[in-house]
Amino acid sequence: MPELAEVEYMRRHWDVALGATVTAVELHLRARLFRGVDTAALARGLEGATLTASHRTGKQMLFGFGAAGWLGLHLGMTGELRVEPAAYPAGRHDHLVLRQPGRALVFADPRMFGAVDWTPGAQPPGWWLARPPEILERGFTPARLEAFLTRRAKAPLKAVLLLQEMFPGVGNWMADEVLWRAGLHPARAAGSLDAAGRAALYRELRFVCRGALRSIVRGVDGHWADPPRGWLFHARWTDGGRCPRTDVPLVRETIGGRTTCWSPAVQKR
């Protein structure tokens, strides 16, 4: 379930390790997370390297190790970053362990939908340099949104909001939250919005991203926190939920290939 703010929360977990050197690297080589990665170069590059930078774009994290290289991590659906004691033995789902003096940095992912990426050298990877604007950055403009909706005119809004090249960090629950707040039906064709609909979508995209980052990243009891009360988030996960705004029963159905929850009282076709 890690989306924008949950990934940001996870990224910060490793902040404690900034400035510290990696003394040993452990890899579960058979894990599908490493497909396409030169794991020998990864291990060689990380050993003796110092963690110097920590970044995120959308759901993708990037950790810099000086001139040695860049470690990209994606959490997929079930990935997590942890900090464990130095002697921590790697468990079954711990696919990457970076030993540092006094601690172990662990990347675990039971279902292995996540991904690892290694780019040697001081130059960041191309996918980082070419990243699209974050929704809360200046480059995310109403004009870009309109152009994208036009190009994806026939696709349902729900499917379009999940496209990371335009909406970095938005996942299943955030897409539902945005559409609910904007009063837009998730099955509505992206190209069918008028100016008011596009403005609402733009506004609520930014509202949900900002609100999620504010509340979730704070964390509670060593895990990420939930969004504020009154958000659709709290009612969307199981059948029988009710619209936080109108108390009308929510509908759950597959739209755009994903489980989607919406309020018929608020979101009309």
Return the active site residues: 2-3, 59, 258
| Chosen residue from 64, 72, 125, 156 binding DNA by CB under 7 A | 156
| Chosen residue from 43, 90, 162, 213 binding DNA by CB under 7 A | 162
Identify residues 124-153 at the interface with DNA (CB under 7 A): 151-153
| 2 or 17: CB nearest DNA | 2
Looking from the CA of 116 toward its CB, the CA atoms found within 13 Å total 27
| Chosen residue from 12, 26, 113, 128 binding DNA by CB under 7 A | 113
Is there binding between residue 76 and DNA (CB under 7 A)? yes
Contact 173, 233 (CB under 8 A): yes
Is there binding between residue 257 and DNA (CB under 7 A)? yes
Distance CA 81, CA 13 (A): 7
For the CB of residue 230, give the shortest distance to DNA in the complex, in Å. Answer: 20
Q: Tokens 């970095």 — which residue?
A: 168
Segment contacting DNA by CB under 7 A, of 1-9, 137-145, 201-209, 217-225: 1-9
The count of residues interacting with DNA (CB under 7 A) is: 35
Q: φ, ψ for residue 252 (rounded to 5)? A: -125, 120
Is there binding between residue 256 and DNA (CB under 7 A)? yes
Instruction: Please count the other Cβ atoms lying within 10 Å of the Cβ belonging to residue 51.
Output: 24
Reduced 3-state DSSP string for 208-258: HHHHHHHHHCCCECCECCCCCCCCHHHHCCCCCCECCCCCCECEEEEECCE
Distance CA 181, CA 205 (A): 9
User: Footprint of DNA on this chain (CB under 7 A)?
Assistant: 1-3, 32, 58-60, 74, 76-78, 110-113, 151-156, 159, 162, 164, 171-173, 190, 237, 252, 254, 256-259
